[in-house]
Chains A and B, each alone.
Chain A
Amino acid sequence: MEWTTNTLGRKIPVDIGGKTCAPFQGAFIDRRKGGPKALSPERTSQAAPLRQKPDKRVADWDDLFDRLDLRDGASISFHHHLRNGDKIVNEVVARLAARGLRDLTIVPTALFPVHDALLPYIREGVVTKIEGSMNGAIGAACSRGEIRRTCVLRSHGGRQRAIQEGDISIDVAFIAAPAADPYGNANGLFGPSACGPLGYAKPDSEYAGKVVVITDNLVPYPCAPWSIHGANVDYVLKVESIGDSSKIVSGTTQLTRSPTQLRIAQLAARFIEATGLMKDGFSFQAGAGGISLAATVFLAERMRRAGVKASFAHGGATSVLVDLLEEGLLGSIVDLQSFDLDAVRSCARNPRHIESDPYASYGPHARGCVANMLDVALMGATEIDIGFNVNVVTHSDGVLLHGIGGHSDACASAGCTIITAPSFRKRIPIIREQVTTLTCPGEVIDVLITERGIAVNPKREDLLWKAKKADLPCKEISQLMREVLTITGTPASPRFTDRPVALIEWRDGSIIDTVWLLEGE
């Protein structure tokens, strides 16, 4: 296999399976040779429908698969709005395996522990490639080389772009829908499996060869609102249940009790206020992790005290954000994913709780996306190096365990990107000389906040100056790393072979890093 090195010094293959790998050149380099790239042609146009109501209903799974006529090597896609309660991914793959299909590529927006059930199909060769996101046991299986072809990891925005620009072709999109009509209009807001927005499936519904809506809550036409347009849908299948509602929204709204997490969250809120980012009409994105949730609560306290209101919050929605919206501290929530039932209800009834999709929120080649309107993004990391490069997919032992999610998109688009993380987890230091896997370049990361101090990227002298003036505990990142290594000791490096098990795509489709097969596997 031939290798090359990208501008970040990471080793990447020249080509994989006959497809050339474009090396990453920079977060904002326009790689489209000869001007704008033509978008993927709209899906093959259909024969003109007969007059009046086309019948999209299929009787059952077998009827559906008979009509779809999938072949070996097909690629099929799924969304992750049903999170750990999803029943559809496993069901579809199991049924295709039973029909004797092999060599499938699956293109999920994310996978959850419930999808560990795919492992036998991966080992048997039914699924031989995953493009999108690999989490938990599936990620670990990928690291051990159990997935036969080289996988691809993309951010939510990168996935949308890849679909739109034809880098991925999806044969069939299977869209689980908590509410749908017989024509295929669908949303995620109502019904026993309500999950909130349904936007992650939108690019798939627009560009996949065939689109199937699967619902356990068939409503009369027209289903409103229609997050997924019936005009894009080929088949509608009614099933008993698309998911386990108790696990669909499983996010915690309990404020963390960990004093270390609370300290990091306090520092983050103080930093945002002290550097003047917290001003009337500002906007932010924070996830639903322990630190992010607490930081949102602390930031809200400061907003209340200072009489400042935010124009919107973006990303995943929680009851914490819903309360702020209803209190009037937030003008809007732009929501890609609801983490609890309060968020689902709010999304269904509050017009200021706006349902978004990956193109609008993160689209790398959109004419500006929601993330571009962000003043602050609070994001996590499994590792960060002294050049502020970030890893969110592998752990320090080299095992792939997480997807990228919206991380790269928010980091590269927001006005100020803050990574919050403990400086070490158990004995594992988070700040490293070099990250094990590089998913987001240091050029778009502005600040690291840990319990042991704040490191500001030297490019952001403006922020550093203001933070120091406010007496925040600022340190150089290499100094912070040395302090942490004194506590933990310097870890050994995992040993890899030179077989790539996954490529990490930057938002623009260039390859920013490679995940390697672990030695001894």
Chain B
Amino acid sequence: MSELQVFEAGFASKSDCLVRYVPSACPVSITAKSSVAVLFGDAIQCSAQDMLASYGVTTGRLEIEDDGALDFVLRARIEAVLRKAGFVFQSCPSLQKDWAHTSPRRAPSDRDRTRQVRLYVPGDQPHFAINADLFGADVLVFDLEDSVAEERKFEARILVRRLLESEFLFERSELAVRVNALRTECGKADVAEIVAGHPHAILLPKCESAEDVKVLDTLLSLQEQEKGLERGSIHIMPIIETSKGVLAAAEIARASDRNVALCFGYEDFSRDICARPAPVEGAGATQGKSAQIEALLARQMIVLAARSAGIQPLDSVFSDIEDTDGLTESCYLARALGFEGKAVIHPSQIEPVRRAFSPSDEEVERAKAIVAAYENSLKEGRGAVDFDGQMIDAPLVSKARRIIEESARGA
């Protein structure tokens, strides 16, 4: 440990704090500045002391610049600098309850629950995560991959674990984490850290073979055992976003019993196949940017792979958050292809996606009429019935029932 090195984590911004640990031979000291010092100055001191004791820190200086970080954020930032500095968790000495190292026991989420909207939340920015459960997404995906800079990965995975441990922040959405690809050290470290927070699911990016999923499955089983969680309680949603992945989609979908959905990642896929967008709008047989014609086959293959494995196919994000019409069109396309949902990167996209995926009033009316006609025919002991010139058979009725169910859920 170099005398000159300073370890740093967090941001000096709203609802966050910047924490530094400066190693030295002097007895440990804490300096804390906070915009909420009058109200929480003592609480900040208490948590800092608690964390220092938990990690057996007796020397050096801990500096905190706080702008109203919640306690779990403050502790995540302190934990990050202490672990960066080489300290190891020892025990929780004080009476003050630290949420860390007490994994929440979440009941596994229902494999077939609706996943129409999954909201990506950057994993190193507490400000976006704190209220994320309120916006009505089916799945919250705390991202450790693309939205987190390389040098922030270490502190981000600690923050996300602490976030997951803050059970009081979540009661509605399914909780998932997008880890880094497992081919990287970072990805393995993510999984090791995150399981303690007991997320419902892991999203595995850049998935290219059944082996990728199996590696994660094994890692999860190990971690679950270590943390005393029920084996198999954490689901996997592989993300396919390369040409190789698309070609292996069928095996990927069947690679693990943990799989509940197969996701498509458009941006990376488009880059991977070297697709070049038409230089002029309207040219090149595309209809607007939502058509994404180069990915049509990939999308279809993912739907086929997922459906044949009995799991949900979920579509990519639509990245222009200003373009609601484009988003809606892309949802219609996804729906027509057989996808069950879409990813969003801003809460304002949730409502349009929900609307686009929900059955329209006409569809619901028609479905109700079909079910009524069918039930009537059963009561009257008639065999085949027709409705609007169309034969009503069992698949049609079950499709109608699903539409009615969906509309009831959306209301």
Q: Which residues of A contact B (CB under 8 A)?
A: 257, 259-260, 262-263, 396-398, 425-428, 451-452, 483, 486-489, 491-492, 494
A494 touching B15 in the complex, CB below 8 Å, given contacts A428-B68, A451-B131, A486-B168: no
Within 8 Å of chain A (Cβ to Cβ): is B56?
no
CB-defined contacts of A487 to chain B, threshold 8 Å: 70, 130, 168-169
A397 touching B38 in the complex, CB below 8 Å, given contacts A263-B135, A451-B134, A487-B169: yes
**Bound Cα distance A262, B350 (Å):** 12
Within 8 Å of chain A (Cβ to Cβ): is B288?
no
CB-defined contacts of B70 to chain A, threshold 8 Å: 427, 487-489
CB-defined contacts of A494 to chain B, threshold 8 Å: 38-39
Taking a contact as CB atoms closer than 8 A, the residue among B43, B67, B135 that contacts A259 in the complex is B135
Within 8 Å of chain A (Cβ to Cβ): is B406?
no
Is A428 a contact of B134 with CB atoms below 8 Å?
no
CB-defined contacts of B347 to chain A, threshold 8 Å: 259, 262
**Bound Cα distance A77, B38 (Å):** 35
**Bound Cα distance A452, B134 (Å):** 7
Q: Give the number of chain B interface residues (Cβ < 8 Å).
A: 24
Taking a contact as CB atoms closer than 8 A, the residue among A260, A426, A486 that contacts B36 in the complex is A426
Q: Give me 6 other A-B pairs in contact (C-beta within 8 A), A262-B348, A427-B36 excluded.
A: A426-B15, A427-B68, A483-B168, A487-B70, A489-B40, A491-B39
CB-defined contacts of B169 to chain A, threshold 8 Å: 487
A260 touching B38 in the complex, CB below 8 Å, given contacts A426-B15, A487-B70, A489-B43: no
CB-defined contacts of B71 to chain A, threshold 8 Å: 489
CB-defined contacts of B42 to chain A, threshold 8 Å: 492
Taking a contact as CB atoms closer than 8 A, the residue among A260, A396, A488 that contacts B131 in the complex is A260
CB-defined contacts of B69 to chain A, threshold 8 Å: 427
Within 8 Å of chain A (Cβ to Cβ): is B33?
no
**Bound Cα distance A81, B134 (Å):** 38
* Closest residue on chain A to residue B34 by CB atoms: A427
Interface residues of A, dominant DSSP:
loop
Is B43 a contact of A398 with CB atoms below 8 Å?
no
CB-defined contacts of A398 to chain B, threshold 8 Å: 38
From residue A202, how far is it (CB to closest CB) to chain B in Å? 40
**Bound Cα distance A260, B38 (Å):** 26
Is A492 a contact of B135 with CB atoms below 8 Å?
no
**Bound Cα distance A492, B35 (Å):** 14
**Bound Cα distance A396, B38 (Å):** 9
From residue A448, how far is it (CB to closest CB) to chain B in Å? 16
* Closest residue on chain A to residue B70 by CB atoms: A427
Is B131 a contact of A259 with CB atoms below 8 Å?
yes
Is A257 a contact of B40 with CB atoms below 8 Å?
no
From residue A472, how far is it (CB to closest CB) to chain B in Å? 14
* Closest residue on chain A to residue B36 by CB atoms: A427
Cβ-closest 5 pairs across A and B? A426-B68, A491-B39, A259-B347, A397-B38, A427-B68
B 40-74 to A, binary, CB cutoff 8 A, 1 in contact else 0: 11110000000000000000000000011111000
**Bound Cα distance A426, B34 (Å):** 11
What are 30 inter-chain pairs, A to B, with CB distance below 8 A?
A: A257-B348, A259-B347, A260-B131, A260-B134, A262-B348, A263-B131, A263-B135, A396-B38, A425-B68, A426-B14, A426-B15, A426-B35, A426-B67, A426-B68, A427-B15, A427-B36, A427-B40, A428-B68, A451-B131, A451-B134, A483-B168, A486-B168, A487-B70, A487-B169, A489-B71, A491-B39, A492-B40, A492-B42, A492-B43, A494-B38
